[in-house]
């Protein structure tokens, strides 16, 4: 992907210049650009006498820049993977892998969200990150996705997305549109020592995308300015380390008030779906172990685990 790195600044570069840098002919440059444009859904402009440029500059990831900011963290920056979570799970099977570690990618060919949904992952436009940790007791798993959501929210707020809120159990929304999602996957016995891969997707500089089946937005859409993806990744990883350390020591109780304050649907009428079953109720909040509290037919009930989907009721 050296060719895309040469074009990442969004300026015009002549075919001769690009060919010299890559050691290929100008015609080979054009063929490769056509292929990359099609594969990664990138809009390319070609102007006689000026050369080629991308319609939108790309903020590409730099392992050296991230390592300088996070010197104690083992991390990998990949060009394209099937999924950063899948790669992280494979890394966990390797002997003596250092934990925690992070994997980031410019794109994913098979990115995934909850319930097996495809996570659209265009090249160099969003943040695709997995963070692997060791969990030594089951209590550390309680409300873990909610705590991670707070780390993502704090990171987004620091980049000007002031109105971002939480949707139980693991999405972040702005004005009803999804800006980030979380997927946790376990390796090992959750009743004993195990490992957790924390997958996070953030729509950073995404302005247009095909295949997203829900309302979405991005940091650039909200703020009007492109975001430095290295800076966003670094802040997110710093926040993850911060909240996970506190969660390990004090549990979700240390975050309960902050989480409910950021919960967008607090007090709203919602519909909770589990398979073919639907439950209507009003959100009362979450318990100290992260379960959803609903008022259902005048009775408070709690729900957690399994493949649960929460939506606002049409009449709310």
**How many CA atoms are closer than 13 Å to the CA of 201, on its beta-carbon side?**
29
149 is in an annotated binding site: no
* Model confidence at 114: pLDDT above 80: no
Distance CA 243, CA 200 (A): 15
Distance CA 289, CA 270 (A): 21
SS3 of 180, please? strand
163 is in an annotated binding site: no
271 is in an annotated binding site: no
Q: Known catalytic residues? A: 114, 178, 311
Bridge partners (DSSP) listed for residue 75 = 102
* Model confidence at 110: pLDDT above 80: no
153 is in an annotated binding site: no
Mean pLDDT over residues 213-231, rounded? 94
208 pLDDT tier (thresholds 50, 70, 90): confident
Structure tokens given for 28: 């080979």
217 is in an annotated binding site: no
* Model confidence at 135: pLDDT above 80: yes
pLDDT tens readout for residues 271-293: 999 888 899 999 999 999 999 99
CA nearest 131: which of 239, 248, 247, 58? 239
Is residue 185 within 8 A of residue 89, CB to CB? The reply is yes
Distance CA 230, CA 62 (A): 7
Q: Which fold has domain 63-260?
A: BirA Bifunctional Protein; domain 2 (3.30.930)
* Model confidence at 77: pLDDT above 90: yes
CATH class for the region spanning 2-54: mainly alpha
294 phi and psi angles, rounded to 5 deg: -125, 145
Spatial CB neighbours of 305, under 8 Å, sequence gap ≥ 6: none
pLDDT tens readout for residues 13-51: 998 998 899 899 989 999 888 888 877 778 888 898 899
pLDDT tens readout for residues 175-193: 999 999 999 999 988 888 8
- CATH number for the region 265-312 comes to 2.30.30.100
Domain residue extents for the chain: 2-54, 63-260, 265-312
239 is in an annotated binding site: no
pLDDT of residue 316: 43
pLDDT of residue 118: 65
Distance CA 228, CA 232 (A): 6
Distances (CA, A) of 314 to 46, 106, 203, 276, 277: 48, 38, 27, 18, 17
Cβ burial of 72 (10 Å; 0-12, 13-18, 19+) is exposed
* Model confidence at 168: pLDDT above 90: yes
Is residue 146 within 8 A of residue 290, CB to CB? The reply is yes
Distance CA 63, CA 77 (A): 6
243 pLDDT tier (thresholds 50, 70, 90): very high
178 is in an annotated binding site: yes
pLDDT of residue 230: 97
Write down the mean pLDDT value for the chain. Answer: 91
């Amino acid at each position: 992907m050296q060719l895309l790195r040469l074009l990442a600044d969004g300026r015009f570069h002549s075919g001769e210049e690009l060919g010299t840098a890559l050691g290929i002919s100008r015609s080979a440059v054009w063929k490769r650009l056509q292929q990359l444009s099609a594969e990664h859904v990138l809009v390319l402009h070609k102007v006689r006498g000026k050369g080629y440029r991308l319609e939108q500059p790309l903020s590409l990831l730099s392992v050296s820049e991230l390592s300088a900011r996070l010197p104690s963290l083992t991390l990998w920056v990949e060009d394209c993977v099937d999924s950063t979570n899948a790669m992280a799970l494979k890394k966990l099977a390797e002997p003596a892998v250092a934990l925690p570690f992070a994997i980031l990618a410019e794109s994913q060919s098979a990115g995934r969200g909850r319930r097996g949904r495809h996570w659209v992952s265009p090249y160099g436009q969003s943040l695709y990150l997995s963070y692997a940790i060791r969990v030594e007791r089951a209590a550390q798993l309680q409300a873990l996705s909610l705590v991670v959501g707070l780390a993502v929210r704090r990171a987004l707020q620091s980049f000007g997305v002031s109105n971002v809120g939480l949707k139980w159990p693991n999405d972040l929304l702005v004005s009803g549109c999804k800006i980030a999602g979380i997927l946790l996957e376990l390796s090992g016995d959750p009743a004993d020592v195990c490992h957790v891969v924390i997958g996070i997707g953030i729509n950073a500089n995404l302005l247009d995308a095909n295949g997203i089946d829900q309302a979405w937005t991005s940091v650039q859409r909200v703020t009007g300015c492109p975001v430095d993806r290295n800076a966003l990744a670094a802040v997110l990883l710093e926040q993850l380390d911060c909240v996970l350390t506190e969660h390990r020591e004090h549990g979700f109780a240390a975050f309960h008030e902050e989480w409910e304050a950021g919960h967008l649907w607090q007090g709203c009428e919602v519909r909770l779906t589990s398979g073919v079953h639907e439950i209507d109720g009003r959100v009362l909040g979450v318990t100290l172990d992260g379960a959803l509290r609903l008022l259902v037919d005048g009775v408070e009930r709690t729900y957690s685990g399994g493949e649960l989907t929460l939506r606002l009721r049409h009449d709310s």
